């Protein structure tokens, strides 16, 4: 890898400033994003059923209800409401769309804007990667709903043993670790930007051992 | 003609090296994550080892905080003081350490430098995490909203950024040493 060029310091500064500007905590932005995310997620998952009539719905929290529930490690700004046909009542899971969807998107966008791509490539990359990150956030919540249904005493969702084990691993290894929300956008940005840089601008070298 | 063939070969080998690094890194990170976050039975060796590590973090945090505040002590994984703080697996920076270690192990380098990188980088992240826990204690004592912001967003990002930065710095060190070795050979 070549020595870091002065240009990269400016790009790091752009990333930091842009990310700080976008991610600065603003309650109105948080509520607005939560509402928008829930609407889109509900459209994407309409008609999805889990097991024997298990359903879920995203509900945005009002600006007065963004809080941490008793026993929870993090605050929540939306709810994942689980219901099932033939079963009374509902189960409500607090979710944090700011941490799970907004901040990863903000990191990704700031990385792409700071990258040495042309303007049009930046726009295309932001759209493609942003969509991928949004879809992965929704898929993560669907996996959370599945895992929760699989653990309920009611016979709503009874997967095979290996599916249950896989859900356990996905929940504990993919969904729980908080760093994943910040590592994944960096990885997605690297996957999308690196080939473009190599193809159109050889700005760096691949990881290699120096050859004498 | 020969030059363009050579350039094309170099580009292909560079692309394979990048792909190899990415694939190996992701597989290693996934494996380390599974080792750390797998739902082990409560009475099992891995679960006990992880609990001991969390207790170490709690004890170290309590020791540092007690330098400025009397009566703070750790019991198990909880720091007891004016703001009780439970240290759970998500607070131990093991995910950032796993990502860092995976990147270092996947990078083509002599094994001594790889081992040095993993040990030094992991130690740095452990120390940073202790700083995080101490800061969270005082933030929680002062203002709950500040605690939530630092806990859920700021420090997570700081640790991941530190892991990325440490990896970048290590690769520069490895490349410089190799360049120097080539120059003197």
* A185/chain B closest Cα distance in angstroms: 11
Query: Which chain B positions have a beta carbon within 8 Å of A194's beta carbon?
Result: 18
pLDDT category at A8 given cuts 50, 70, 90 is confident
The H-or-E segment that residue B161 falls in is helix B155-184
Task: Answer yes or no: is pLDDT of A2 > 70.
Answer: no
Q: Which of B95, B103, B77 is nearest to B174 (CA)?
A: B103
Q: Give me the pLDDT at residue A77, please.
A: 87
**Does A206 sit within 8 Å of B108, measured CB to CB?**
no
Q: Residue A1 has what pLDDT?
A: 54
Whether ipTM > 0.90 holds is no
Strand B85-86 to B78-80 pairing: antiparallel
| Whole-number Å distance between alpha carbons of B147 and B143 | 6
pTM for this entry = 0.82
A55 and A83 in contact (C-beta within 8 Å)?
yes
Test B152 with A96 for CB contact under 8 angstroms.
Answer: yes
- Spatial neighbors of B34 by CB under 8 A, at least 6 apart, are A169, A173
Q: What pLDDT score was predicted for residue A70?
A: 46
pLDDT bin (cut points 50, 70, 90) of residue A125 is very high
Question: Is residue A76 within 8 angstroms of chain B, CB to CB?
Answer: no
Position B13 confidence tier, pLDDT thresholds 50, 70, 90: low
The contacts of residue A95 (CB under 8 Å, 6+ apart) are A58, A76, A77, A78, A79, A80, A141, A144
| Binary contact (B181, A210; C-beta < 8 A) | yes
Q: What's the pLDDT tens digit per position in A90-123? A: 888 889 999 999 999 999 999 999 998 889 999 9
Q: Which two tokens stand for residue A16?
A: 């930091």
Interface of chain B against chain A, CB under 8 Å?
11, 14-15, 17-18, 21-22, 26, 30, 33-34, 36-39, 88-90, 95-96, 99, 107-109, 148-149, 151-153, 156-157, 159-160, 164, 168, 171-172, 175, 178-179, 181-182, 185
């Amino acid at each position: 890898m070549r020595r870091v060029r002065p240009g990269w310091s400016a790009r790091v500064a752009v990333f930091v400033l842009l990310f700080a500007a976008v991610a600065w905590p603003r309650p109105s932005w948080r509520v607005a994003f939560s509402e928008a995310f829930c609407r889109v997620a509900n459209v994407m998952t309409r008609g999805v059923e889990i097991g024997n009539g298990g359903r879920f719905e995203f509900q945005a929290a009002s600006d007065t209800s963004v809080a941490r529930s008793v026993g929870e490690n993090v605050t929540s700004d939306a709810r994942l409401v689980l219901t099932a046909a033939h079963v009374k009542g509902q189960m409500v899971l607090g979710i944090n769309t700011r941490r799970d969807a907004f901040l990863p998107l903000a990191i990704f966008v700031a990385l792409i804007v700071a990258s040495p791509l042309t303007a049009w490539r930046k726009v295309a990359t932001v759209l493609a990667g942003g969509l991928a990150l949004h879809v992965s956030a929704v898929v993560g919540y669907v996996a959370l709903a599945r895992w929760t249904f699989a653990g309920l005493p009611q016979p709503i969702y009874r997967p095979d043993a290996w599916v249950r084990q896989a859900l356990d691993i996905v929940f504990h290894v993919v969904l729980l670790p908080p760093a994943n929300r910040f590592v994944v956008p960096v990885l997605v940005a690297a996957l999308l930007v690196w080939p473009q840089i190599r193809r159109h601008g050889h700005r760096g070298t691949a990881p290699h051992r120096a050859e004498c | 003609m020969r030059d363009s063939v050579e350039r094309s070969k170099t580009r292909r080998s560079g692309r394979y090296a990048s792909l190899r690094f990415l694939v190996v890194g992701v597989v290693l990170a996934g494996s380390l994550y599974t080792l750390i976050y797998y739902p082990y039975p409560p009475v099992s060796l891995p679960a006990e080892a992880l609990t001991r590590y969390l207790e170490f973090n709690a004890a170290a945090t309590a020791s540092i905080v007690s330098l400025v505040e009397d009566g703070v002590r750790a019991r198990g994984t909880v720091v007891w003081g004016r703001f009780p703080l439970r240290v759970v697996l998500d607070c131990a920076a093991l995910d950032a350490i796993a990502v860092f270690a995976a990147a270092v192990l996947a990078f083509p380098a002599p094994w001594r430098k790889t081992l040095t990188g993993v040990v030094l980088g992991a130690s740095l992240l452990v120390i940073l995490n202790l700083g995080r826990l101490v800061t969270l204690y005082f933030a929680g004592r002062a203002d709950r909203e500040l605690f939530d912001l630092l806990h859920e967003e700021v420090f997570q990002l700081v640790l991941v950024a530190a892991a990325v930065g440490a990896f970048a710095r290590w690769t520069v060190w490895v490349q410089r040493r190799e360049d120097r070795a080539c120059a003197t050979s």
